[in-house]
Amino acid sequence: MRCVVRVGWAWVDTASFSLYVFSTSVAIQALTVISMGGLADHPSQRKPLLLTFAALGSLSATLFLLLPSLSPVWPLCALLAILANVCFGASIVALNAYLPGLARDSPEARAAQQDAEEVLKRQPEMEEDDVVEQGAAALRNWQQTVSRTTARISARGIALGYGAGILALLLLLIPVTLLGGTTFSLRLCVGLSGIWWATFTLPAGLWLPGASATPSPSGKPRARQWSTLREIGSAWAQLFRLLHPSNIRKLRHTFLFLAAWFLLSDAFTTISSTAILFGKTSLHMPATALMLVAVLAPSAGVAGALTCNTLQHRFGWTNKRVLLFLVLAVLAVPIYGCMGFFLPTLGLKTAGEMYALAVYYGAIMGAFQGYARAVFSELIPRGEEARWFGLYSITDKSSSFLGPLIVGVIADRTGNIRYAFWFLAGMVLCAVPLLGAMGMERGREDAERYARERKDPVEVLGEAEEVEEVVQEEREEQEEREGV
C-alpha cells in the first residue's frame, strides 16, 4: 500500500513529494544565485547578503519546531524547506566569493607582493636582463603563494564543514533515538539544525571583513550609483553575455574547468548515492550499517582535506596537479565495483569492503571539494567572484539530476545496479582530458585581461592617475639622488 498525502487538489506520494520540493528549491536557488551575483560582487553588500540569507534560512529551519505533524501543514513545511535550501545555496555563493580576496590578503601573499614591489623599486639600478628575470621570479612566487594559500583556506573550510556536520549528526541522533524516530523527533532535528546554523553564523558576522561603500581608487566618487533592481537586471544581462561564444573563447580555460566540474560534481555525488543504494539492495546492509557508512565518509573527508594540503606542501605540487591526482584516485571506486563481475570474492561483495571504500572515498571527496574550489577561484576575473561562484553552483546543481537518472535507467533495464559502476567510471574519465587541457597560468592571465576590459572607465582613470603619481614620486626621488 502506498502512502499518499493530499496537497491542494492532488494526491501525492510522500516519497515523491520530497523530491518535488527539492527540485523546486534547486530551480529557485539557481534563479536566486544568478540574480544576487552582481550585488554580492560589491564588497559593501557581500557580508550583508551572506548574513541575511543565513538568517532567513536558519529561521525557516527553526520554525519547524512550531509546526504540528499533520498533513494540512505540509504545504507550509514545503515552503519553509524551499526557503531554507534557497538561502543555504545563496549564502554559500556569498561565502565562496570571499575566498580569492582572503588568499590575496593573507600575510604570506602580502609578503610575496612586497617582494615583487621591491624588485620594481630597484628597477632603475638594475640591468635590463636582471629586471626581467627577477621580476618574473617575483611574480611567479606571488602567484604560487596565492595559489597555495587559496588551497589551504579552502581545504580547512571543507574540513571544518565536514567536522561540524558529523558533530551535528551525532548530536541529533540522541533525540531521534530517545524519541523512537517519531515525526516530532525529526521536526526537532530540523529545528535544532536551524539554531545550529544561526549560532555558527555569528563568527562570520563578527570576523569576516566587511566594506563600506568606497570611492574609486582615484578618490573621486563613482560616476554611476548602483541600485538593487539595476544590479539584478545587470546580473542576468551579464550572464547571457558571459555565455556568448566570444567570451567563452576569451576565458577558454575557465570554461574548460566548468565543463569538467559539470561531469565531476555529478560523478562524485552519484558514486556516493549509488554505493549506498548498492549496499542496501545488493549487500542487504541494515539501516544502522548504512548510517555508519554515512558517518565514516565525511569523517575521512576531514582527514583527507587536511592531509592532502600537507602533502602538497611537502611535494611542491600545484593545485591543478593535486586535483588531477584526486580525480584519477576516485576512479578506483567504480573500477573496484566493476571487478565484482570477474572476481568471486572481491569487488564490493561484503559489508567490510563497503566500510573500507567509504573511508577511501570520503578522504578523496573531502580533498576534492577543497581543491576544486581553489582551482576555480584562480581562474575567475577579479571583482566578479560572486557572479562566477554562482555559475559554479548552478553548474553543480544542474548536473545533479543526470547521474542518478542514468543510474536509475541502468538499474531498471539490467536488474543489477552493479552495471552503473561502468557508467560512473566513464563519467570520471571524460573529465580527465578537460582538466589536462586547462592551463592555470594562461587561465589566470585571461581572467585578469577580461577583468581589465570590463572595468568602469572611472576606475581605470583612477588607477591610471595612481600609477602616474607613483611614477612621478619615483622620478623625483631619482632626481634627488642624482642631485646629491
More confident residue, 474 or 328: 328
Mean pLDDT of the chain: 82
Contact 147, 280 (CB under 8 A): no
The arithmetic mean of pLDDT across residues 336-350, rounded, is: 89
Rounded Cα–Cα distance for residues 125 and 109 (Å): 26
| Rg of the chain (C-alpha set) | 26
Lowest-confidence region among 1-5, 141-145, 239-243, 371-375: 1-5
Buried b (16+ CB within 10 A) or exposed e, 120-140: eeeeeeeeeeebeebbeebee
- Least confident span in 70-79, 93-102, 130-139: 130-139
Query: Hey, what's the torsion of the CAs at 162, 167, 173, 175, to 10 degrees?
Result: -130
Q: Is 60 exceeded by the pLDDT of residue 28?
A: yes
Specify the pLDDT at position 15.
54
Which region among 11-20, 49-58, 92-101, 152-161 has the lowest average model confidence (pLDDT)? 11-20
Q: Choose between 437 and 212: higher pLDDT.
A: 437
Give 304's contacts (C-beta < 8 A, 6+ positions apart).
Answer: 362, 363, 364, 365, 366, 367
Task: Tell whether the torsion through CA atoms of 106, 109, 115 and 117 is positive or negative.
Answer: negative
pLDDT band per the 50, 70, 90 thresholds, residue 243: confident
CA distance linking residue 66 with residue 373, whole number of Å: 37
Task: For residues 15-29, give the mean pLDDT.
Answer: 74
- pLDDT average, residue stretch 337-355: 89
pLDDT of res. 325: 95
Selection from 269, 363, 362 nearest residue 309 by Cα: 363
pTM, whole model, 2 decimals? Answer: 0.76
Per the listing, cell 571506486 goes with 333
pLDDT (mean) for 201-220: 65
Amino acid residing at 168: A
Model confidence band, residue 438 (pLDDT cutoffs 50, 70, 90) = very high
What pLDDT was estimated at residue 200?
93
Of 440, 433, 434, residue with least CA distance to 318: 440
60-74, 246-260, 291-305, 428-442: segment of lowest average pLDDT: 60-74
Percent of the chain scoring above 90 in pLDDT = 29
The pLDDT of 371-392, averaged and rounded, is 89
pLDDT band with cut points at 50, 70 and 90 for residue 215: very low
* DSSP codes joined into one string, 203-244: HHHHHS--------TTSSPPSS---HHHHHHHHHHHHHHHTS
pLDDT for position 291: 76
For the segment 269-280, the average pLDDT, to the nearest whole number, is: 85
